[in-house]
């Protein structure tokens, strides 16, 4: 590894920005707060570019910065070290690059908010934590960032905390992620117990040195178990953490509610960066998951089911951000599905392209909400393509990319995921195809109801008072839309170039290489089928919503009826959790309040112990008379007793 101490400045700069804004932001001019917030993230992006160039120039040799010795207990040592390899470079360019664009957009979106400085303080804190997560050279250092983004997301989701609904959404996200984080810790402890290290480089070497994975361990705390069984348990534990952070079944429920935060938060945290942290973790530990095929089966099945399940809910939602939220859950399902079939590069490719078009869609939805003075219901929109043309154009491009229309980026990344899934299992391929069709349908529904027809807002004068976005909001949209167009070039299919794609070559040293076994003819046919599925979903959306309002058929089958009720209410999963887990937890809490607190805590631990202390004090106080003759008599008596006992 090459020493590169400047890596420390990637998380440090936005952390300094958060510190400055947190302490003095309230007294600063908005222009000064803007400079602090944007310059620190731009600085991180610049250092990331320099680090990437340095690594590539040195033939892909990873960079490292050891800040200090952190934990040193017995034979276990953990340094606070940052690492930078090809996988780190790919995600850090997204985190800092897209993060900077979202910061620029936020200067326009949040310009009238009285807590402007506080918003950018939290936003900088998030970028710092996410950078630490990606740069972490070991599981404990990564976990610092993992928890940091959880804290920052809680602060940002509940940014408007005076609104109870928004504050509750922040708490829900925080608590749900803590459940997953417990699994992360269990996985970390298992790995430490088995391999004696938590450093990624040393872990990779230790796994490579493992012999037959079915052989039984004879020493240590896992004696009697095979390496395969222990690693499978660790991978399942890590995946529990992934279901929380990357919003998979059953811990996905926090992400749709997280739309309560400001729209730039949705774009940064819930589209481009934080929710992809779980996918990044599994790719980083791909060498571990590879020797645990049973864990990969669980990952693939959960990812496929999540992709379809969330897509069905997205069909019936009317809040523009909720539709995009369930779309995010669904697309994360595709990434997890790709990991489950061992296609780590395909998963990361879709992660990158998704960051482009989904961030653009969220920021576009923010521009729409901004224009309509806070309106988020697509049933009250329509005809907006005439009034906000740039937002319309970028939204259309990103919608087509998400649907998987050739030659946009989403087509190449999603097609690759579906190809690997179909090659692994016909059932997984069917799940992926159903999800792709539903994605194209609900996005076309969203697009047509938002931009076509006439404006249906209840305020008849809204058309004359539309708040059109400024350049600070439109320029990031244009850049992200352009990336959504050209992003597919990062990993063009082998049949197009007759060589491995750029990402396949770039990420190969870290993620390995997995090649499709399809013939060129079969691959072309599969691409045509993928495009056909997307086109079918868009055509259905046009038939039912092409005029900007639901047709009678749409009203009958999509907008009403028992199926609509189930999908609109999100399969009643929140109600199920409310009436089982949450109610049981509250029962235990009330039981503790009635029994444990008054009788055990207050009674035994406090009152009884204090009573014993005060009672013994009163007994011991009585002999303390202050009379010297009494003390002398006691002293003589004690000496006599001790002497007699010694003689006896």
- pLDDT tens, residue by residue, 445-503: 999 999 998 888 888 888 877 888 888 899 999 999 999 999 999 998 888 877 788 99
Min mean pLDDT across 12-21, 267-276, 334-343, 345-354 is at 267-276
* 390-412 core/surface letters (b: 16 or more CB in 10 A; e: else): bbbebbebbbbbbbbbbebbbbb
pLDDT at 610: 80
**Which helix H or strand E contains 64, and what residues bound it?**
strand 63-73
- Tell which wins on pLDDT, 111 or 297: 297
Q: CA torsion 188→271→83→61, rounded to 10°? A: 120
Distance CA 333, CA 310 (A): 9
In the block, which residue shows the tokens 């009635």? Answer: 594
3 state SS of 83: strand
**275-297 average pLDDT score:** 93
At residue 223 the predicted structure's pLDDT band, cuts being 50, 70 and 90, is confident
**392-401 average pLDDT score:** 96
Closest among 217, 351, 333 to 284, alpha carbons compared? 351
Distance CA 10, CA 82 (A): 10
pLDDT tens digits, 575-602: 999 898 888 988 888 888 888 877 788 7
At residue 125 the predicted structure's pLDDT band, cuts being 50, 70 and 90, is very high
Q: Is the pLDDT of residue 392 over 90?
A: yes
3 state SS of 286: helix
- 94 CB-near residues (< 8 Å, 6+ apart): 272, 273, 351, 352, 355
For residues 130 and 149, is the Cβ–Cβ distance under 8 A? yes
- Tell which wins on pLDDT, 523 or 17: 17
Closest among 414, 308, 282 to 353, alpha carbons compared? 414
At residue 82 the predicted structure's pLDDT band, cuts being 50, 70 and 90, is very high
Q: Is the pLDDT of residue 16 over 90?
A: yes
Pairing of strands 63-73, 76-84: antiparallel
Structural domain boundaries in the chain: 2-568, 574-647
pLDDT at 401: 95
pLDDT at 128: 96
Q: Which two tokens stand for residue 496?
A: 């197009």
pLDDT at 412: 93
Distance CA 126, CA 242 (A): 18
24 alpha-carbon distance from chain centroid: 30
Helix axes 9-24 and 30-57, enclosed angle (nearest 10): 170
Q: Is the pLDDT of residue 356 over 90?
A: yes
**Neighbouring C-alpha atoms within 13 Å toward the C-beta of 279:** 35
Note the pTM of the prediction, 2 decimals: 0.90
pLDDT tens digits, 261-272: 888 888 887 777
Distance CA 327, CA 293 (A): 28
pLDDT tens digits, 19-42: 999 999 999 999 999 999 999 999
pLDDT at 88: 95
**559-581 average pLDDT score:** 89
Q: What is the 3-state secondary structure (H, E, C) of 173-200?
A: HHHHHHHHHHHHHHHHHHHHHHHCCCEH
Q: Is the pLDDT of residue 604 over 80?
A: no
Q: What is the 3-state secondary structure (H, E, C) of 612-630?
A: HHHHHHHHHHCCCCCCHHH
pLDDT at 543: 94
For residues 298 and 239, is the Cβ–Cβ distance under 8 A? yes
pLDDT at 512: 87
**149-161 average pLDDT score:** 91
pLDDT at 410: 93
pLDDT at 481: 95
pLDDT at 324: 93
pLDDT tens digits, 510-551: 998 888 888 888 889 999 999 999 999 999 999 999 988 999
Mean pLDDT of the chain: 90
Distance CA 264, CA 363 (A): 6
2-3 sheet: strands from edge to edge: 2-3, 63-73, 76-84
Give the single-character DSSP code of 468.
-
pLDDT tens digits, 165-220: 889 999 999 999 999 999 999 999 999 999 989 999 999 999 988 877 788 887 77
Q: Is the pLDDT of residue 116 over 80?
A: yes
At residue 74 the predicted structure's pLDDT band, cuts being 50, 70 and 90, is confident
User: The dihedral of CA 351, 356, 361, 363: what is its sign?
Assistant: positive
* 86-118 core/surface letters (b: 16 or more CB in 10 A; e: else): bbbbbbbbbbbbbbbbbbbbbbbbbeeeeebbb
């Amino acid at each position: 590894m090459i020493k590169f101490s400047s890596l420390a400045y990637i998380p440090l700069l936005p952390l300094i920005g958060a510190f400055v804004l947190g302490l003095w932001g309230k007294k600063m001019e908005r222009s000064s707060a803007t400079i602090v917030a944007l310059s620190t993230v731009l600085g991180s992006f610049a250092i990331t570019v320099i680090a990437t160039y340095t690594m590539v120039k040195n033939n892909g040799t990873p960079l490292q910065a050891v800040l200090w010795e952190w934990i040193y207990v017995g034979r276990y040592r953990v340094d606070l070290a940052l690492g930078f390899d090809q996988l780190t470079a790919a995600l850090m360019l997204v985190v800092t690059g897209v993060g900077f664009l979202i910061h620029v957009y936020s200067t326009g979106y949040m310009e009238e908010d009285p807590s402007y400085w506080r918003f950018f303080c939290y936003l900088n804190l998030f970028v710092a934590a996410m950078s630490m997560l990606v740069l972490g050279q070991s599981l404990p250092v990564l976990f610092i960032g993992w928890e940091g983004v959880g804290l920052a997301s809680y602060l940002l989701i509940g940014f408007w905390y005076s609104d109870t609904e928004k504050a509750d959404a922040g708490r829900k996200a925080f608590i749900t992620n803590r459940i997953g984080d417990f699994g992360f810790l269990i996985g970390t402890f298992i790995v430490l117990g088995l391999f004696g290290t938590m450093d990624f480089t040393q872990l990779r070497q230790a796994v490579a040195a493992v012999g037959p994975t079915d052989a039984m361990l004879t020493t240590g705390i896992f004696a009697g178990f095979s390496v395969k069984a222990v690693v499978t348990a660790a991978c399942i534990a890590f995946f529990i953490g992934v279901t929380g952070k990357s919003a998979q079944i059953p811990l996905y429920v926090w992400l749709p509610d997280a739309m309560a935060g400001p729209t730039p938060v949705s774009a940064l945290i819930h589209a481009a960066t934080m929710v992809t942290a779980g996918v990044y973790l599994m790719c980083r530990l791909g060498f571990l998951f590879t020797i645990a095929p049973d864990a990969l089966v669980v990952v693939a099945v959960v990812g496929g089911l999540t992709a379809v399940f969330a897509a069905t809910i997205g069909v019936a939602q009317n809040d523009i951000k909720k539709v995009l939220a369930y779309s995010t859950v669904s697309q994360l399902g595709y990434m997890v599905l790709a990991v489950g079939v061992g296609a780590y590069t395909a998963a990361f490719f879709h992660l990158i392209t998704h960051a482009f078009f989904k961030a653009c869609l969220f920021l576009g939805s923010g521009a729409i909400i901004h224009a309509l003075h806070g309106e988020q219901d697509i049933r009250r929109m329509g005809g907006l393509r005439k009034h906000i043309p740039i937002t319309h154009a970028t939204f259309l491009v990103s919608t087509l990319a998400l649907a998987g229309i050739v030659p946009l980026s989403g087509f190449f990344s999603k097609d690759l995921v579906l190809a690997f899934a179909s090659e692994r299992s016909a059932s997984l391929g069917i799940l992926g195809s159903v999800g792709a069709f539903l994605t194209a349908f609900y996005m076309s529904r969203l697009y047509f109801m938002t931009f076509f027809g006439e404006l249906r807002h209840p305020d008849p004068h809204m058309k004359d008072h539309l708040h059109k976005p400024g350049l600070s909001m439109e320029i990031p949209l244009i850049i992200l839309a352009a990336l959504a167009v050209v992003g597919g070039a990062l990993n063009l299919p082998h049949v197009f170039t007759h060589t491995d794609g750029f990402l396949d070559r770039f990420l190969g040293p870290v993620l390995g290489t997995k090649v499709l076994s399809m013939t060129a003819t079969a691959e072309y046919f599969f691409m045509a089928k993928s495009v056909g599925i997307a086109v079918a979903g868009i055509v259905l959306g046009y038939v039912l919503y092409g005029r900007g309002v639901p047709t009678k058929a749409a009203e009958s089958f999509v907008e009403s009826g028992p199926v609509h009720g189930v999908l609109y209410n999100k399969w009643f999963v929140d109600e199920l959790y409310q009436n089982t887990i949450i109610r049981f937890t509250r029962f235990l809490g009330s039981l503790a309040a009635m029994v444990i607190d008054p009788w055990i805590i207050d009674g035994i631990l406090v009152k009884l112990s204090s009573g014993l202390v005060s009672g013994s004090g009163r007994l011991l106080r009585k002999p303390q008379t202050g009379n010297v003759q009494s003390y002398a008599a006691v002293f003589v008596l004690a000496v006599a007793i001790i002497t007699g006992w010694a003689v006896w």
